[in-house]
């Protein structure tokens, strides 16, 4: 597939990195010579310096032969115009744009991106994606990662095996014997920084990060089996009143009537603006790294602190401070992937990476076949994919035990006729199943 990417920042780089590894023909445009040189030096892609929406630059980058354009520059308007130019002048079949301003995305203006006006096939809103991820984590506080599939009926949760986890050193095959009615399957284990897909005779160890696929109704029971019985977070302090912080607070007001939310915002002007838009949320003007401000926000009595500023270092330190003051749990927005390696040591319970979420969303539309969902884990070490089985699929019509699946693949659930099936060796996939 020939893919044209406008924007060589963190998100553009991440998308180019994944697509290049899979032997796609990738060209990247950015106005920064330094970013273009970096991407040329480190990835097997072509780089072009220029404005991503200018026809001559798009032509030079091969827009006439492109199958897809992915516009992820810092500016919504550049992304929108790049897609329009790619459609009108070069007839690029698939157009994906990152749109950050919620004004463009209000339902009242939904016709804006129709084929008759501004033809964009897929709109990615990082603020919404990240906000929804934060909200899922707040609902399931015992998990460090939470993703929904199959219309929300299937969840994949990441769980840490702590010292009080009752199922450590137990082979996975015995879990089925111990909990025969549990609708959950362990599909991945991260041990000492390495991810692998376990076999039935593998056991989990203390410190492992485990990815489990389960029916929505079984999530709390699954967490309990792994020794996590944390309560849903109702007292929430948010550090950072930007677009994501405002989105999370607004959603909590609408969806969780019992929630008590406080926001710490460094800009007085922004604090006043979001206070006017929120109904029940208390907005405090101050520095999230000021202990007195955190105490004023009652961090010491909070269920969780969620740090969502645009500064990774502030997010990390704010979370550490909150824990020291007595906050039960914390969550940090982190863009820099190198920080991920030491967040556990600092006592950060969960992290959210906007780049990974955006890359996952893009990959969903790049994959061939009927892909319903993609979620990247461990910065690209693995993917969780929801795909519809076609008549021609080699998965169809045979018991799973008879399939010659490559190492590194494990089927965690089958969604058929609005029902979730937890597969075993005798399960047969039929055409139309979502796997």
| pLDDT tens readout for residues 275-295 | 999 999 999 999 999 999 999
Band of residue 183 on the pLDDT scale cut at 50, 70, 90: confident
- Residue 115 or 227, more confident: 227
Radius of gyration of the chain (CA): 23
- Residue 90 or 230, more confident: 90
In the prediction, which pLDDT does 6 show?
97
DSSP assignment, residue 182? -
Band of residue 353 on the pLDDT scale cut at 50, 70, 90: confident
Rounded to an integer, what distance in angstroms lies between the CA atom of residue 336 and that of residue 334? 6
Does the structure show a pLDDT above 70 at 210?
A: yes
Which residues, including other chains, have CB under 8 Å from residue 62's CB and lie 6 or more apart? Answer: 2, 4, 27, 46
Least Cα distance to 255 among 245, 243, 247, 263 occurs for 247
In the prediction, which pLDDT does 364 show?
78
Q: What is the dihedral of CA 405, 356, 203, 347, to 10 degrees?
A: 180
Rounded to an integer, what distance in angstroms lies between the CA atom of residue 32 and that of residue 7? 9
Least Cα distance to 222 among 166, 149, 169, 173 occurs for 166
Strand boundaries in 44-93, DSSP class E = 46-49, 68-71
Mean pLDDT, range 31-41, rounded to an integer: 95
- pLDDT > 90 fraction of the chain, expressed in percent and rounded: 60
Mean pLDDT, range 114-127, rounded to an integer: 85
Q: What is the pTM of this model?
A: 0.82
Rounded to an integer, what distance in angstroms lies between the CA atom of residue 308 and that of residue 316? 10
Does the structure show a pLDDT above 70 at 248?
A: yes
- Residue 356 or 185, more confident: 185
Least Cα distance to 328 among 352, 350, 354 occurs for 350
Mean pLDDT of the chain: 91
Does the structure show a pLDDT above 70 at 368?
A: no
Does the structure show a pLDDT above 90 at 82?
A: yes
> Is 73 in contact with 67 (CB distance < 8 Å)?
no
Which residues, including other chains, have CB under 8 Å from residue 163's CB and lie 6 or more apart? Answer: 206
99-113 confidence digits (pLDDT tens):
988 788 877 777 788
Residue 401, judged by CB atoms within 10 A of its CB (0-12, 13-18, 19+), counts as exposed
Rounded to an integer, what distance in angstroms lies between the CA atom of residue 202 and that of residue 173? 8
In the prediction, which pLDDT does 141 show?
83
Instruction: Sort strands 209-215 and 184-191 into parallel, antiparallel or unpaired.
Output: antiparallel
Rounded to an integer, what distance in angstroms lies between the CA atom of residue 225 and that of residue 100? 39
> Is 76 in contact with 13 (CB distance < 8 Å)?
no
In the prediction, which pLDDT does 369 show?
66
In the prediction, which pLDDT does 434 show?
95
> Is 1 in contact with 68 (CB distance < 8 Å)?
yes
| Crossing angle of helices 354-366 and 126-139, rounded to 10° | 110
- Sign of the torsion angle spanned by Cα atoms 239, 243, 244, 248: positive
In the prediction, which pLDDT does 322 show?
96
Mean pLDDT, range 355-384, rounded to an integer: 82
| Least confidently predicted of 35-39, 112-116, 164-168 | 112-116
Does the structure show a pLDDT above 70 at 270?
A: yes
DSSP assignment, residue 300? G
Using the CB atoms, write b or e for 360-388: b if 16+ within 10 Å: bbbbbebeeeeeebbbbbbebebebbbbe
| Least confidently predicted of 103-112, 346-355, 388-397 | 103-112
Backbone angles phi, psi at 48, to 5 degrees: -130, 130
Rounded to an integer, what distance in angstroms lies between the CA atom of residue 47 and that of residue 308? 32
Does the structure show a pLDDT above 90 at 432?
A: yes
Least Cα distance to 184 among 427, 429, 413 occurs for 413
> Is 301 in contact with 328 (CB distance < 8 Å)?
no
Does the structure show a pLDDT above 90 at 10?
A: no
| CB atoms near residue 307 (< 10 Å) | 31
In the prediction, which pLDDT does 33 show?
96
In the prediction, which pLDDT does 396 show?
92
In the prediction, which pLDDT does 176 show?
79
């Amino acid at each position: 597939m020939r893919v044209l990417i406008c924007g060589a920042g963190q998100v553009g780089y991440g998308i180019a990195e994944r697509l290049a590894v899979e032997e796609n023909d990738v060209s990247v445009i950015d106005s920064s010579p330094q970013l273009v040189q970096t991407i040329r030096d480190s990835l097997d892609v072509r780089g072009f310096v220029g404005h991503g929406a200018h026809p001559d630059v798009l032509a030079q980058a091969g827009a006439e032969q492109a199958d897809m354009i992915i516009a992820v520059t810092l500016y919504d308007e550049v992304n929108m115009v790049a897609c329009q130019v790619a459609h009108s002048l070069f007839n690029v079949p698939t157009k994906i744009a990152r749109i950050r301003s919620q004004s463009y995305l209000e339902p009242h203006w939904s016709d804006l991106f129709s084929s008759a006006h501004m033809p964009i096939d897929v709109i990615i809103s990082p603020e919404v994606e990240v906000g929804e991820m934060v909200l899922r984590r707040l609902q399931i506080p015992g998990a460090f990662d939470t993703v929904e599939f199959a219309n929300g009926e299937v969840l994949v949760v990441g769980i840490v095996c702590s010292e009080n986890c009752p199922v450590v050193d137990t082979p996975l095959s015995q879990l089925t014997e111990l909990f025969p009615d549990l609708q959950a399957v362990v599909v991945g284990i991260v041990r000492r920084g390495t991810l692998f897909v376990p076999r039935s005779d593998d056991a989990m160890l203390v410190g492992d990060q485990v990815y489990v696929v389960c029916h929505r109704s079984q999530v709390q029971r699954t967490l309990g089996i792994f020794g996590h019985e944390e309560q849903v977070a109702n007292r929430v302090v948010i550090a950072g009143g930007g677009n994501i912080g405002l989105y999370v607070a607004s959603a909590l007001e609408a969806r969780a009537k019992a929630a008590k939310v406080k926001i710490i915002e460094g800009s007085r002007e922004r604090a006043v603006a979001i206070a006017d838009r929120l109904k029940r949320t208390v907005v405090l003007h101050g520095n999230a790294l000021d202990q007195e401000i955190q105490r004023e926000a009652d961090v010491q009595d909070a269920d969780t602190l969620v740090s969502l500023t645009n500064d990774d270092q502030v997010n990390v330190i704010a979370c550490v401070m909150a824990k020291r003051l007595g906050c039960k749990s914390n969550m940090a927005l982190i863009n820099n992937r190198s920080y991920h390696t030491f967040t556990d040591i600092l006592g950060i319970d969960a992290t959210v990476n906007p780049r990974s979420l955006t890359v996952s969303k893009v990959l969903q539309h790049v994959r061939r076949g009927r892909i319903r969902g993609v979620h990247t884990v461990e910065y690209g070490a693995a993917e969780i994919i929801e795909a519809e089985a076609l008549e021609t699929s080699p998965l169809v019509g045979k018991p799973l035990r008879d399939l010659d699946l490559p190492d590194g693949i494990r089927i965690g659930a089958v969604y058929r006729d609005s029902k979730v099936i937890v597969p075993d060796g005798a399960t047969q996939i039929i055409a139309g199943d979502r796997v």
